[in-house]
A and B are shown apart, each in its own frame.
Chain A
Amino acid sequence: MIGTFGHISLISALILNIYLLLSYSLSSLKKNINFRKTKHLNFLISLFIFLAFIFLLWSFAISDFSNTAVYQNSHSQKPLFYKISGSWGNHEGSMVLFILILSFFSSFFSFSRINENLKYLTIFFQNILILFFLVFLIFTSNPFDIISPTPKEGLGLNPILQDPLLSIHPPFLYVGYVGFSIIFSFALAGLYLQEFSMLWSKQASFWIIIAWTFLTIGIGLGSIWAYYELGWGGFWFWDPVENASLVPWLASTALLHSNIASMKTEKFLSWTALLAIVTFTTSLLGTFLVRSGILNSVHAFANDPDRGLYILAAIMIITFFAFLIFILKFPKDRAPNILVFWSRGSFILINNCFMIFFLVVVMVGTLYPIFLDAIFDKSISVGPNYYNALLAPFVIVLLWFMAHGPLLDWYKFNKLSLIKIIFKISFLTLLSTLIVIFYFKDISLLFVLGVFFSLYLIISVLFDVFKQKVISKNLARIVSHFGFGILIFSIFVNSFLSKEIDVPIKVGQTIKRDTIEIQFKNIVKSQEQNFEEIIGNFLVKDGTKSFELSPSLRKYFQPSQVTSETSIKNTILGDYYLAINLSEFDGDKIMIRFYHKPLMMWIWTSIILIILGGFIRIFKKQDAI
Chain B
Amino acid sequence: MIKKFFITILFFFLITNVSFGNDQLKNKIYKNLRCVVCQGQTIYESNSDFAVDLKKLVEKKLNNGETEQQIYSYLISRYGDWIVMTPKFNLSNVFLWIIPIGVFLIGLLTISKITRKSKFNS
Q: Please, could you name 16 A-B residue pairs with CB atoms under 8 Å apart, sorted by A?
A: A267-B114, A339-B114, A339-B115, A342-B118, A356-B107, A364-B95, A376-B92, A381-B86, A386-B87, A390-B97, A392-B16, A392-B20, A414-B120, A415-B120, A446-B16, A495-B21
Is B17 part of the binding interface, using a Cβ–Cβ cutoff of 8 Å? yes
Shortest Cβ gap from B43 to chain A (Å): 11
* Chain A 191-213 near chain B by CB (<8 Å), digits 1 or 0: 00000000000000000000000
**Which A370-403 residues sit within 8 Å CB-CB of chain B?**
372, 376, 378-386, 388-390, 392-394, 396-397
Interface contact A397-B12, CB-CB below 8 Å: yes
Interface contact A385-B17, CB-CB below 8 Å: no
Contacts of B115 in A (CB 8 A): 338-341, 346, 349
Which of B24, B110, B117 is the one whose CB lies under 8 Å from A341? B117
Is A509 part of the binding interface, using a Cβ–Cβ cutoff of 8 Å? no
Is B63 part of the binding interface, using a Cβ–Cβ cutoff of 8 Å? no
Interface contact A384-B121, CB-CB below 8 Å: no
Is B69 part of the binding interface, using a Cβ–Cβ cutoff of 8 Å? no
Interface contact A349-B111, CB-CB below 8 Å: yes
Contacts of A381 in B (CB 8 A): 34, 81-87
Interface contact A368-B96, CB-CB below 8 Å: yes
How far is A394 from B107 in the complex, measured between Cα atoms in Å?
14
- List 9 tightest A-B contacts by C-beta distance, closest first: A383-B85, A353-B107, A379-B82, A393-B12, A297-B40, A340-B118, A341-B115, A385-B86, A357-B104
Interface contact B116-A340, CB-CB below 8 Å: yes
How far is A582 from B21 in the complex, measured between Cα atoms in Å?
25
* Chain A 475-510 near chain B by CB (<8 Å), digits 1 or 0: 000000000000000000001111010100000000
**What residues of chain A have their CB less than 8 Å away from a CB belonging to chain B?**
230, 232, 239-240, 267, 295-300, 337-343, 346, 349-350, 352-354, 356-357, 360-361, 364-365, 368-369, 372, 376, 378-386, 388-390, 392-394, 396-397, 412-417, 445-446, 449, 495-498, 500, 502, 581-584
Instruction: Other than A230-B45, A393-B9, give 14 A-B pairs with Cβ distance below 8 A.
Output: A339-B114, A346-B111, A360-B103, A365-B96, A368-B96, A376-B92, A380-B82, A381-B81, A386-B96, A393-B12, A394-B9, A394-B104, A446-B16, A584-B52
Contacts A380-B81, A381-B81, A583-B47 known; A341 to B118 CB distance under 8 Å?
yes
Is B100 part of the binding interface, using a Cβ–Cβ cutoff of 8 Å? yes
Is B27 part of the binding interface, using a Cβ–Cβ cutoff of 8 Å? yes
**What residues of chain B have their CB less than 8 Å away from a CB belonging to chain A?**
1, 8-9, 12-13, 15-24, 27, 31-32, 34, 38-42, 44-45, 47, 52, 80-88, 92-93, 95-97, 99-100, 103-104, 107-108, 110-111, 114-118, 120-122
Contacts of A385 in B (CB 8 A): 18-20, 32, 85-86
Shortest Cβ gap from A238 to chain B (Å): 9
Shortest Cβ gap from B79 to chain A (Å): 9
For B85, the closest partner residue in chain A by CB is A383
For A345, the closest partner residue in chain B by CB is B115
How far is A341 from B115 in the complex, measured between Cα atoms in Å?
5
Contacts of B97 in A (CB 8 A): 390
How far is A351 from B118 in the complex, measured between Cα atoms in Å?
20
The interface centre, meaning the residue of A296, A341, A369 with most chain B CB atoms within 10 A of its CB, is A341
How far is A65 from B27 in the complex, measured between Cα atoms in Å?
45
Contacts A381-B87, A583-B52 known; A353 to B116 CB distance under 8 Å?
no
Which of B12, B85, B103, B120 is the one whose CB lies under 8 Å from A356? B103
Contacts of A357 in B (CB 8 A): 100, 103-104, 107
Contacts of A415 in B (CB 8 A): 120
How far is A553 from B9 in the complex, measured between Cα atoms in Å?
48
Interface contact A368-B21, CB-CB below 8 Å: no
Shortest Cβ gap from A538 to chain B (Å): 20
Contacts of B114 in A (CB 8 A): 267, 337-339, 349
How far is A380 from B91 in the complex, measured between Cα atoms in Å?
13
Shortest Cβ gap from A266 to chain B (Å): 13
Shortest Cβ gap from B33 to chain A (Å): 9
Contacts of B44 in A (CB 8 A): 232
Interface contact B108-A378, CB-CB below 8 Å: no
For A333, the closest partner residue in chain B by CB is B114
Interface contact B111-A353, CB-CB below 8 Å: yes
Contacts of A361 in B (CB 8 A): 100
How far is A230 from B46 in the complex, measured between Cα atoms in Å?
11
Interface contact A368-B95, CB-CB below 8 Å: yes
How far is A445 from B14 in the complex, measured between Cα atoms in Å?
12
Contacts of A382 in B (CB 8 A): 85, 87, 96
How far is A495 from B16 in the complex, measured between Cα atoms in Å?
14
How far is A349 from B113 in the complex, measured between Cα atoms in Å?
12
How far is A502 from B2 in the complex, measured between Cα atoms in Å?
48
Contacts of B39 in A (CB 8 A): 296-298, 300
Contacts of B34 in A (CB 8 A): 381, 383
For A296, the closest partner residue in chain B by CB is B40
Shortest Cβ gap from A495 to chain B (Å): 5
Contacts of B38 in A (CB 8 A): 298
Shortest Cβ gap from A219 to chain B (Å): 18
How far is A597 from B24 in the complex, measured between Cα atoms in Å?
15
Contacts A390-B100, A446-B16 known; A500 to B116 CB distance under 8 Å?
no
Contacts of B32 in A (CB 8 A): 383, 385
Contacts of A498 in B (CB 8 A): 21-22
How far is A353 from B111 in the complex, measured between Cα atoms in Å?
9
Contacts A240-B40, A297-B40 known; A413 to B120 CB distance under 8 Å?
yes
Interface contact B22-A379, CB-CB below 8 Å: no
Contacts of B82 in A (CB 8 A): 369, 379-381
Interface contact B100-A360, CB-CB below 8 Å: yes
How far is A307 from B31 in the complex, measured between Cα atoms in Å?
34
Interface contact A446-B17, CB-CB below 8 Å: yes
How far is A355 from B89 in the complex, measured between Cα atoms in Å?
25
Interface contact B122-A414, CB-CB below 8 Å: yes
Contacts of A240 in B (CB 8 A): 40
How far is A297 from B19 in the complex, measured between Cα atoms in Å?
23
How far is A551 from B61 in the complex, measured between Cα atoms in Å?
31
Shortest Cβ gap from B121 to chain A (Å): 6
For B13, the closest partner residue in chain A by CB is A393
The interface centre, meaning the residue of A354, A383, A581 with most chain B CB atoms within 10 A of its CB, is A383
Shortest Cβ gap from A272 to chain B (Å): 15
Interface contact A397-B45, CB-CB below 8 Å: no
Which of A342, A388, A390, A582 is the one whose CB lies under 8 Å from B47? A582
For A346, the closest partner residue in chain B by CB is B115
Contacts A341-B117, A394-B9, A397-B12 known; A386 to B86 CB distance under 8 Å?
yes
For A355, the closest partner residue in chain B by CB is B107
Shortest Cβ gap from A234 to chain B (Å): 8
